[in-house]
Structure formats: C-alpha cells, structure tokens
Amino acid sequence: MRRSKLLLCASFSLLTSLACSKQPPPLTAPSGEQPGYAEQYPSRLTALRTRFAEDEAKVQAALPQLEPAAQKLGNADPATVKELFELADETGKSQAYADQSLEAETVSRFWDEEKQPLHQKIAGAVSYQSKQKQCSKECGDDLAGVAAGASDRAVEKQLEERQQRVGELHRYVEDHEEQLGKPNVDAAEKQAGAIAQLSHLTYVRLEMYRRELEAALNDSSDVGSTLDRTQKDADAVLADAQASKSRKALAEKRKASASAAKAALDAEVQQARQALADMEQRQKKLIADYEKSFGALTDALEQKAKK
C-alpha cells in the first residue's frame, strides 16, 4: 500500500512538472506561404545580418571611449558616477529598456525609410498654406525646406525625451544632482545613456537578431514553394487569352517580383545560415570585451573615490 502511494505521488509530481514546463503554443502562424512576405524574404534575411553586424561594430567602436569619456565629468563624486553607470549597465539589460528601445528603433527606421515622401508631403502642405496667405513662391519654398528639415530634428528630439521619461537614469540623475554637480548633470546622463545602449546591444539586441534570423530561416522552404506558386499562377494568367490587359499587367508585375526574390533566395539563405553559425561566438566575444571595458571603467572610478 505504501509503495502504491509512493508511486502515485511520484507520478503526480512528474505530471505536475511536465505541465509546468510545457511551453505555450505559438501566438502567430508562419508567414512563409504569404506571397508578399515571400517576396520580401531575401531582403529580410539581409537586413537581419546587416543590423547585427552594424550594432556589433557600434559597440566595438564605442568601448575604447568609455573610460576617457568618464574623465570629462570634472568634480562629480566618483562613487555616485560609478553607481549611475552600474545602474545604466543594468538598465540596458531590462525588459522596459528593450521595449522602449525597440519602439524607438521602429520609429527611427520608419522615418529614415519614408523620409523623402514625408518631406514632400510636409513641404507641399507648407507651400499650399503659403500660397493661401499670399506669400511669394520663394518665401513658400524656403519655409517648406525649413519645415521638412525641422521634422527630422523634432522626431529625433522627441524620441530622446520619451526615453528619458520612462527611464531610470533620468530619475537617478535628478535625485543626485548635488553629488554630480550641476555643470556635470547633462554629460553624466548622456554618458549613462550611452552605457545603457551599449549594454542593451551587447546582451539583448544582438541575441534578438540571432533569434529572429533563426526563426526566419525556418520559413525558407515554404518561401521557395510560395515563390514558385506565384510564378506559376502568373504564367497561367499570362497564357489565358480571356484575361484582361490590366490583369495580365498585374500578373507580369507579380511574376517579376517573385522571380527576383527566387533568384536571390538560395544565396541569401546560405549567407544567413553561415552568419547564424558565427553569431553566438561573436556575441560571446563582444560580451567579454564589454565586461572588460566596463570593469576597467568602474575600477577606475572606485580607485578615484578612495583618494
């Protein structure tokens, strides 16, 4: 009887453990069978590889500047500066920072990619209002150019202010203004923000790129089939004597897009797989380099605080 009870308890514990460790099902379905996604797929693989390399290079270039930049904080209390920088390091690894950073990244990328048509719309609206106010054409054109340029700076500035509002670093700097010294406040916060970004890129963003690329590569087979199907469907329309001119023109467009993506697919998938195989080691090296540089920075501040 006792043995049966023990077996029952063990079985119940095992089932409970399995239930607790069971992963929830995916929230989204794969996109490989969607023609629009398939046509953009090679470019997506390229973008993920490129962004990983760009952010990796950004961290590598910034690390040698960490300690020299901290020396520019004048008579700021080194113990407070050290605490601020350690907070920045931890902040960069947090979920809240990652959420805000991704939001800002999305807005910045959208603005960069759509800047020209947005500038044209802004300039057009300003020119129209200038005419309504009976301004000269020269004046209207000048105002339109100024407004378009100002929009770039406004977006960048607003993203910075938004990051400050939700970030812990701004709160810390406000709370420790006396220890930092008022003349050093802006520089200290800027340096802390740079450390938070480096920490985020090193520990979080690069790993996110790696996971995104790994997940995207799972779609490669479906993408190839979808592109083949798109070309086949387009050929059927083009061979149909009853199809209208507009329908055939659309089929030509669809076929051209699918053909271009298909031509690039194999090479992009191969390069993505090669990049993915190296990413983990590159991350480990970057983490080691970051920890060495950040450790040297905090050690220097600690020694300065003891003097």
* Tens digits of pLDDT across the chain (307 residues): 444 443 444 444 444 444 455 668 878 888 999 999 999 999 999 999 999 999 999 999 999 998 888 888 889 999 999 999 999 999 999 999 999 888 888 888 887 878 788 777 877 777 777 677 667 667 766 666 777 778 878 877 777 777 766 678 999 999 999 999 999 999 999 999 999 999 999 999 999 999 999 999 999 999 999 999 999 999 999 999 999 999 999 999 999 999 999 999 999 999 999 999 999 999 999 999 999 999 999 999 999 888 7
Residue 18 has what pLDDT? 42
Segments in the chain forming alpha helices (H): 2-21, 35-62, 66-70, 78-91, 95-132, 137-166, 168-175, 177-180, 185-200, 206-217, 220-239, 245-306
> What are the residues whose beta carbons fall under 8 Å from the beta carbon of 50, sequence distance 6 or more?
none
Asked whether 174 and 32 are in contact (CB, 8 A), the reply is no
- CA distances, 171 to each of 90, 94, 262 (Å): 15, 16, 51
CA–CA separation, 131 and 14 (whole Å): 77
- Angle among Cα 212, 218, 221 to the nearest 5 degrees reads 140
CA–CA separation, 89 and 293 (whole Å): 12
Residue of 97, 73, 120 whose CA lies nearest to 170: 97
**Residue 267 amino acid letter:** A
Quote the pTM value.
Answer: 0.82
Residue 68 has what pLDDT? 87
Residue 133 has what pLDDT? 67
- CA distances, 205 to each of 49, 55, 202, 215, 222 (Å): 13, 8, 7, 15, 27
Please state the domain extents for the chain.
37-94+166-306
Residue 140 has what pLDDT? 61
The owner of tokens 């079985």 is 11
